[in-house]
Amino acid sequence: MRSRKKNIFIATCIIPTFTLFALIVIYPTIKTFSMSFYQWSGISQNAVFIGFKNYADLFKDRTLIIAFKNTIFLILTVPIITMVLSLFFAAILTQFKLKGKNFYRTVFFFPNVLALVVISILWSQIYHPTMGILNSFLDSIGLEGLKQVWLGDEQVVMWAIVMTMVWQAVGYYMVMYIAGIDGIPKALYEAATVDGASGIRKFFSITIPMLWEVIRTTIIFMISSTLNMSFIFCRVMTAGGPNKSSEVLLTYMYNQAFQNANFGYAMAIAVVIFIFTVCLALVSNRLTERRD
């Protein structure tokens, strides 16, 4: 009797959840892979099996190559700049016993709470060539030469997006690093001070090694979330423009599906993105492994 009641309980708890999960996550994921081998324009009966042709076409697709390059650019620059800044601020706030530690932590974390759409729109306005404050600011301090059409110039646009993404992310990782650093025994630092080590020396010889596991995890977080967020930032701020120069893999995939109704092709792009993400995670895991 008890066992039967127990089984009913277990089933009631699990079956609804798993059913929905299978329907909404598992099934579509499988379809992503299977659909990539077809050519389909969305009208039911017309799915044509074409094997790896979608994938072969990817190599010849000039826009895809741009999107791929831009995605890699983001995945490299955003995490690096974010990490440098957030480690820097975390180190400062923990080493110098400033009275503002909690204040700065609260303030710097705030951008992370805002919706990505809000941040995209906000920075689109800041970057506006005439109505935005960035160019006006450069004017007012005499640096008119540095003015750009931030989101309208093919050479500059990706960097502008990078800066916005960094602005969004620094606070989040800074908080993580502060927590990590707070967990490092003070005795280590004291011993180093007695030995005459400078602040910078202490940072590289104590803080970084002790924080290494946390840093490893955040690298993967950063890469994955940069990739994920690229859709929103590039879509809202520039819609991939000017002239596809800020197109990224996710926006391209989305447009192929919903603008061009090229569903099979879009799914091939999705599979590529997925494989790319997995490889990145494996590689960065390997590269940051410590051999001790």
Q: Does the CA dihedral 103-107-163-230 come out positive or negative?
A: positive
- Please name every residue paired with 38 in a beta bridge, in sequence order, or none if there are none: 49
Reduce the DSSP state of residue 47 to 3 states and report it.
coil
Interactions with other proteins, residue window 50-89 (CB under 8 A): 89
Q: Please, what is the minimum distance in Å from the beta carbon of residue 17 to other proteins?
A: 4
Member of 38, 68, 123, 150 binding other proteins (CB under 8 A): 123
As a three-state string, the secondary structure of 74-85 is HHHHHHHHHHHH
| 266 touches other proteins by CB under 8 A | yes
Interactions with other proteins, residue window 6-35 (CB under 8 A): 6-7, 9-10, 12-14, 16-18, 20-21, 23-29, 31-32, 35
- Helical (H) or strand (E) element with 64: helix 62-95
- CA 219 distance to own-chain centroid: 10
Region from 62-70, 74-82, 127-135, 152-160 binding other proteins, contact rule CB under 8 A = 127-135
| 147 touches other proteins by CB under 8 A | no
Region from 48-56, 188-196, 201-209, 215-223 binding other proteins, contact rule CB under 8 A = 215-223
Q: Please, what is the minimum distance in Å from the beta carbon of residue 57 to other proteins?
A: 17
- CA 41 distance to own-chain centroid: 31
> 193 with 231: CB under 8 angstroms?
no
| 165 touches other proteins by CB under 8 A | no
What does the alpha-carbon distance between residue 229 and residue 240 come to, in Å, rounded to a whole number?
14
Q: Please, what is the minimum distance in Å from the beta carbon of residue 204 to other proteins?
A: 17
38 phi and psi angles, rounded to 5 deg: -120, 160
Q: Please, what is the minimum distance in Å from the beta carbon of residue 253 to other proteins?
A: 8
Q: Please, what is the minimum distance in Å from the beta carbon of residue 144 to other proteins?
A: 15
| 143 touches other proteins by CB under 8 A | no
Interactions with other proteins, residue window 271-290 (CB under 8 A): 273-274, 277-278
| 260 touches other proteins by CB under 8 A | no
Q: Kindly tell me which of 158 and 252 has the beta carbon lying closer to other proteins.
A: 252
| 209 touches other proteins by CB under 8 A | no
DSSP 103-121: HHHHHHHGGGGS-HHHHHH
Number of residues that bind other proteins (CB under 8 A): 93
Tokens standing for residue 79? 């995490």
> 42 with 263: CB under 8 angstroms?
yes
Q: Kindly tell me which of 28 and 204 has the beta carbon lying closer to other proteins.
A: 28
What does the alpha-carbon distance between residue 57 and residue 247 come to, in Å, rounded to a whole number?
18
Q: Please, what is the minimum distance in Å from the beta carbon of residue 270 to other proteins?
A: 5
Interactions with other proteins, residue window 216-245 (CB under 8 A): 216-218, 224, 227-228, 231-232, 235-236
Q: In one letter, which amino acid is 78?
A: V
Q: Closest Cα partner for 288 from 227, 222, 198, 203? A: 222
